[in-house]
Amino acid sequence: MATCPAATFTVTSTNDSGPGSLRQALLGVNASPGPHAVQFSIPGGGVHTLAPLTPWPELTNTVSLNGYSQPGSKPNSLQWGDDVVLLIRLDGQKLTNSLASALVLHSSGSSVRGLIVVRFASGIKLDSAGGCVIAGNWIGLDFDGIARGMTFDGVTVTCPVFASAMHNAIGGAAYGDRNVISGNGTGISFSPTSAANNSVLNNFIGIDPTGTLPRGNATAGVMIQSATNILVSGNVISATTGAGGCGVEIIAGAGDIIQGNLIGHGVSGQDLGNAGDGLYPNGAKNLLIGGTGVALGNRIGFNGRHGIDLLGGSGATIQGNNIGTGSVGTEPWGNLGSGIYLNNSSSNLVGGLAGHNSIVYNGGAGVSVLFGTGNQIAGNSIYDNGGLGIDLGDDGLTPNDAGDADTGANQLQNYPLLTSAATSYGSLQIQGTLDSKPNTNFHLEFFASAPWDAFWIPEGQVLLGYTNVAGHQPSSFREPVLPFAKALSA
């Protein structure tokens, strides 16, 4: 149910102060408890620029600040393009305070819509505020399509450690809720831990309004620092420009969900790769990257390092993603490094029978594991990468020896050796051996690939079936598997 504003303040002038100015409206919002509304009705056509000489007041009462109230403006109505008309522009170029934000909201339940925000230290800051909506804005991208972004964050969600900033939405479900957040130091940032349960939905981050041209943020499209249960869903997060700049960076977060995003792509598969990793979780726990539904997987390609680089993480589930390719599986959209790189990370799930990943055309291995144990890599379609399908690294010892005495990534788990394959009554009988730890249970998977890899690297394009075997000394198996064509790999 809509709530009527306690008062409506109308901006009728581009002056920095005085009657009809934005400053006067914000002072009015702070003068008495809200919720209040700020609307715009500035005479004349075209874009109206409001350029403060000193910072505007930080907002302490609930407010709906709506740039779409300016006559002639309208929200976007397109799924992938952008037909928005924005006529209210906040420009920090004249500020003498080099650390000022355009708008700072301290009160819950506020909203900011329909603005262009450029050339402040930070754009829109939610400080100890909850239940706020930031939607339908251009933050860092100017009216002429040129990036004139913030020095630091386009949008900041933060609070002191003893307070909270929860249930805020950056973007939303409707096409008109899409923000374009580009050309800033960082696109969107969340910190600390108590900045929890926030969402980033269906925005263009690091690109232009058409979704096809780079307008990158410098360090990261989305930065999550210790914040928990952040949902990043349905966004295009691309073209980060700084050295090592990532699409999404997560530092020590927990329970964050990254689903249904294009990371490194434009809306039609254009190469708009981030300079560093597509997704870089560092010390994060219990992440969900993708999911088992068709719309939940991320498409991660063209990035300058790895598609997903999980450093020092545990409990992550990585499912249903296309990493290095598109939905068809033939699009050569690889990342420069490995598709997935697990570094000093343990007890993570990559794939699984309920939600395999397609990991194709990457410059390194499909999945690399460097240190860490207990990582389950199962059921994925991994082929045509520059390195091995699954590379468990090298601890300097002899790999694949009987009994698996080596230590290293996933304890340098051996792969099976197939000794024969024969058809019988319409099914395929496979025999082979597995040299590994005795008295241990193993899950073996069988794949088909149309051609052998050009470098004679075993492939795993199509999962045919699997079997569970109990290890003996030596361990062997003889199992029926579904019919397949041309080639197998373990």
**Tens of pLDDT along 27-45?**
999 999 989 999 999 999 9
Q: How far apart are the C-alpha atoms of 452 and 228, rounded to whole Å?
A: 44
Q: How far apart are the C-alpha atoms of 268 and 265, rounded to whole Å?
A: 8
DSSP state of 150: -
Residue among 329, 326, 305, 181 nearest 246 (CA): 305
Q: Which two tokens stand for residue 396?
A: 């300097």
Instruction: List the helix and strand counts (H, then E) for the chain.
Output: 1, 42
Bridge-based pairing of strands 153-158 and 204-205 is: unpaired
- Residues 189 and 124 sit within 8 Å (Cβ to Cβ): no
Residue 91: what residue type?
Answer: D
Question: pLDDT under 50 in the chain at which residues?
Answer: 1, 394-406, 481-490
- Model pLDDT, residue 482: 43
Q: How far apart are the C-alpha atoms of 411 and 432, rounded to whole Å?
A: 21
Phi and psi dihedrals of 190, rounded to 5? -130, 130
Residue 336 CA to chain centroid, in angstroms? 18
- Model pLDDT, residue 484: 33
Residue with tokens 């990582």: 375
CA–CA–CA angle 53, 55, 56 (5° rounding): 110
Q: End-to-end CA distance of the chain: give it in Å, rounded.
A: 58
- Model pLDDT, residue 471: 67
Q: Domain limits of the chain?
A: 277-413, 416-489
Q: Is the pTM of this model over 0.95?
A: no
Residue 249 has a CB neighbour count (10 Å cut-off) of: 27
- Model pLDDT, residue 437: 75
Q: Which residues contact 455 (CB under 8 A, 6 or more apart)?
A: none
- Model pLDDT, residue 21: 98
- Residues 344 and 371 sit within 8 Å (Cβ to Cβ): yes
Q: Which two tokens stand for residue 481?
A: 């598997």
- Model pLDDT, residue 62: 97
- Model pLDDT, residue 394: 44
Q: Which two tokens stand for residue 428?
A: 């395929």
- Model pLDDT, residue 487: 29
- Model pLDDT, residue 402: 37
Coil, strand, or helix at residue 177? helix
